[in-house]
Structure 1
Amino acid sequence: MDIAEYDKFLIDGAWQAPATTDRIEVTSANTGRPIGSVPAASKRDIDAAVAAARRAFDDPSGWAHWAPKDRAAAILRLADALAARSDRTAELVSAQVGMPINTAKSFEGSVPEKLLRFYASMIMQTPSDDLRGETLVTRRPLGVVAAITPWNFPEVLAFFKLAPALAAGCTVVMKPSSDAVLDAGVLAEAVIEAGLPPGILNIVPAGREIGSYLVTHPGVDQISFTGSTPVGQDIATNAGKLLRRVTLELGGKSAAVILDDADLESNQAAMFGASLLNNGQTCFAGTRILAPSSRYNEVVDFYTALTESARIGNSLDPATQIGPMVSARQQERVESYIAKGISDGARLTTGKKRPTGLDGLEGGHFVAPAIFADVDNSTTIAQEEIFGPVLAIVRYEDDADAIRLANQSIYGLGGSVWSSDHDRALGVARQIDSGTIGINGYQIDVNAPYGGVKDSGMGRELGPEALLEYTEPKAIYLSPRMTADNAG
């Protein structure tokens, strides 16, 4: 693929030269070879971006005060500009993080546009004022949002934040992960083409240290972060000290509960997607498989065959089902968990060696999918987020035991229940302590709130709930006479 090079940032509605010569070099997950670079933001660049966002928000005739139909029109222009770049976005994401290209096209290339259209429509239909007896309750945008986004679904998860924040009337400083920055350049091009007003969306790629500076910046009103639980805890600590609003979507170790009447063969594709989407580099992935004793060996054989039949290869090849890890660091991390699972006594049924025979991809960060049987639910591979294609299969005795084991986790982001009996599955799903859960599949719905409980975060993205995250309610107490006059 072509080398992607950017020399400037999107700040205040235009390309701006960086304050330093530092750069972020990007390599291909498939080959380990360079595929592009962007400037690395410094504190001075963050200052400039926050100042631009602050001016844009504080402007008395600016974005926060536009009529919903006018904001919606601008948001729809951005949706059109992103749609025109969908293939390029998908290609860059696939090359950077190892996401299979078909997945990248379905998610990274199309979901951001859909989210923008969804929230543009929502603000056109949602009144900002609500008269409750003698009180008028109105909602106003919170202000400047620091959006810190991850590398695994860099565009989708960015727009989980950007679409509702912009629709609500906020302005944004976005810091993409340093592991996925090239697609952010394409987004910046789309923002400029769409003609969004200066300062509404500023994009400054940088590392963790600069991210911490943005989180505590005095010009920021709200923080929205997606990433690891330890970083999220640090952000929450800082936000608490500053009394700053924060939304956190963090890690997970979701349980896939297979009930004893589940139809495995008919759900192969759905089970693969629920546990191994994006090579397991997915926060909601059901990587803890809870299997009934009566069918335990059958479930182990099923997942072993499912992963062994999956095609491993170049993420840019449409035939690939499992691509590489995002980096050599992540590859080594996943392999260390596989070694830990073996040393703790679990039985590895497949995935003992790195994939071979990948011509031209010797420098890629590939890990063969690993299936562990005879896993104790309290062990490391059943409790810690691995973020790779490693599944731990845990035995349970009855539905109550399955629910107990599913809830025996510090996380609560996703999960799934598999059964031929809808009512039974729904009954189990209701008792699992998780922000989201699927029945016979797992598919995030833009209409519904998405987020976690426990160490998986706080706050909600998607649905009408996301708009509330970026607004502040204000109660205006009216006199009885004024209320009567309004009623008349």
Structure 2
Amino acid sequence: MATLAAHPVIRLSHPDRLFIGGSWIEPAKGGRIEVISAHSEAVIATVAEATEADMDAAVAAARHAFDEGPWPRMDPAERAAWLRKLHAALEPRVPELVRAWIDQIGSLATVAPFVIGGGMATLQFTIDQAETYPFVETRAPADGHGEAMIVREPVGVAVTIVPWNNPFGIMISKVAGALLAGCTVIMKPAPETPIEAFIIAEAADEIGLPAGVLNLVPSHREAADHLVRNPGVDKVSLTGSTIAGKRVASVCGERLARCTLELGGKSAAIVLDDYDLEAAAKMLTSTIIMSAGQVCATLSRVIVSKHRHDALVEAIRAEMEKVRVGDPFDPATQLGPLALERQRDRVLGYVEAGNAGGARLVFGGGRPLHLARGYYVEPTLFSCVDRSMKIAQEEIFGPVLSVLPVAGEADAIRAANASDFGLYGAVFTHDRESAYRVARGMRTGTVTHNIFRFDPHLPFGGFKQSGIGREGGVAGITSYTELKSILLDAPADV
């Protein structure tokens, strides 16, 4: 088994301070946030807590840097050069970022390096877009006189709010897109997982990023709400729950501030009749235990024809029996703990709701008996789930899989769409035309074929209550820009 000693110690230079206006400052009220390990339940870090006065100071710093500073007036290539420096400063700290993710939410040590590496790759991808992104386009005007220009300008001061389940990957994606676009940024990490944002801020400080361009204010909900309400904020980018998204949308709507919302999901996997059930069972089991089911896009609803339902349930049950639950530092572990005590209790509450609602609990549903510490829940399987049941409608965010029987392909699409969410989905079939047909029928932002995967070069976001707008890829830059049309009497030299 791997040990804690085999992994690097996380060394934060200023855990008791906030990063505002290019300086590390004491929080106005001296508040502190304790960070708890998901697997040991011990306090692993204590960091500064921002309150309302600190939020106002961060907005003032970001506002000044945008209105008066050089950042939005730089050529995109200059901003890309700064982002390359940021990438270089973060590179030697990747092992600390890996350790932070394992410690804070119980991610597997065998998986964490790939996820952190994915975040670094996203940063590099964004840097590379500086050469080709259409910040300025020229064309002939409709009346044939002079020149028309379409320019993409930075939206202004952007607040980036990220959840606890992937704190580095999501934060660095937002920060990279916003900074390349020319925005100034205020990072608001989840209070449960602030360490990654501190490392990003320390890297920005190390390279001498212009003051106020990137700021850090960890906080709880009340101060975050104050931050979003500040009229100096032009754009809020939130990844989080649908409840949080509705709150941010309503606040931004009051003053027509821009917002991008990547919210919850209840993603469906449709297994068509030609697909091998054993292969489907392996993929679906490995997906629902990924990060203990704490992935907004995870395939938590399995939709299959009635005559194949029992056979697929049995195949999944057999796969779940093989899953090893345990210490995330053990390379043999396949399922680690949930990130938080309240999340474990929430998941167990949904298991109770599944039982009470008439679904059949086939496997799991409780805490592993051999683990006295940590927020663990067994891989859990429900069969005979009706699409109207609570466990089929609400996001559980845990290793709980529901299997829904349907009458055929058309009914499968109806069942997949019988949800307030529309973030992600998958179709399992050996027929490409069928896969495309079903994918087009699913009301969801991403659909994959025979696998659970992401492509950071593509836009990501949801239909319905899964959000507004898109992030990732080129869309992750565009979301931080405003379009301006300029009509000139003569061509401009730009």
- Considering the TM-score relative to the shorter chain, is it more than 0.5? yes
Q: Measure the CA separation in 2 of the matches of 1:308 and 1:188.
A: 43
Moved more, 348-357 or 381-390: 348-357
Matched length: 478
Counterpart in the other structure of 2:433 = 423
1:314 paired residue among 323, 327, 338: 327
Counterpart in the other structure of 2:16 = 7
Q: Measure the CA separation in 2 of the matches of 1:345 and 1:284.
A: 25
2:409 paired residue among 396, 399, 405: 399
Q: Measure the CA separation in 1 of the matches of 2:29 and 2:416.
A: 49
Counterpart in the other structure of 1:279 = 292
Gaps of 5+ in 1: none
8 Å Cα contact 1:140-1:471 kept in structure 2: yes
Q: Measure the CA separation in 1 of the matches of 2:467 and 2:110.
A: 29
Counterpart in the other structure of 2:420 = 410
Counterpart in the other structure of 1:149 = 162
Counterpart in the other structure of 1:136 = 149
Counterpart in the other structure of 2:58 = 49
Query: Tell me, what secondary structure is at the counterpart of 1:404?
Result: helix
8 Å Cα contact 2:287-2:293 kept in structure 1: no
Confirm whether residue 25 of structure 1 aligns to residue 29 of structure 2.
no
Confirm whether residue 86 of structure 1 aligns to residue 99 of structure 2.
no
Q: Normalising by structure 1, report the TM-score.
A: 0.95
Q: Measure the CA separation in 2 of the matches of 1:16 and 1:22.
A: 12
1:68 paired residue among 65, 72, 76: 76
Counterpart in the other structure of 1:375 = 385
Q: Measure the CA separation in 2 of the matches of 1:16 and 1:440.
A: 50
Q: Deviations over 1:50-87 (max 9, x none)?
A: 11111111125x11111122111110111122221111
Q: Measure the CA separation in 1 of the matches of 2:473 and 2:11.
A: 34
1:118 paired residue among 105, 115, 125: 125
2:353 paired residue among 335, 340, 345: 340
Counterpart in the other structure of 2:144 = none
Query: Tell me, what secondary structure is at the counterpart of 2:424?
Result: coil
Query: Tell me, what secondary structure is at the counterpart of 1:102?
Result: coil
8 Å Cα contact 1:181-1:205 kept in structure 2: yes
1:190 paired residue among 183, 203, 209: 203
8 Å Cα contact 1:414-1:437 kept in structure 2: yes
Counterpart in the other structure of 1:105 = 113
Q: After TM superposition, give the deviation of residue 113 of structure 1 in Å.
A: 1.5
RMSD, aligned CA: 1.7
Q: Measure the CA separation in 2 of the matches of 1:185 and 1:130.
A: 37
Q: After TM superposition, give the deviation of residue 468 of structure 1 in Å.
A: 1.4
8 Å Cα contact 1:79-1:114 kept in structure 2: no
8 Å Cα contact 2:302-2:402 kept in structure 1: yes
Tell me: CA distance 1:270–1:86, structure 2 relative to 1, closer, same or farther (3 Å): farther
Identity %: 41
Q: Measure the CA separation in 2 of the matches of 1:340 and 1:230.
A: 20
Q: Measure the CA separation in 1 of the matches of 2:213 and 2:419.
A: 40
Q: Normalising by structure 2, report the TM-score.
A: 0.93
Q: After TM superposition, give the deviation of residue 182 of structure 1 in Å.
A: 2.1
Q: Which amino acid aligns with 1:246?
A: C
Q: Deviations over 1:119-145 (max 9, x none)?
A: 111012223211232221111111100
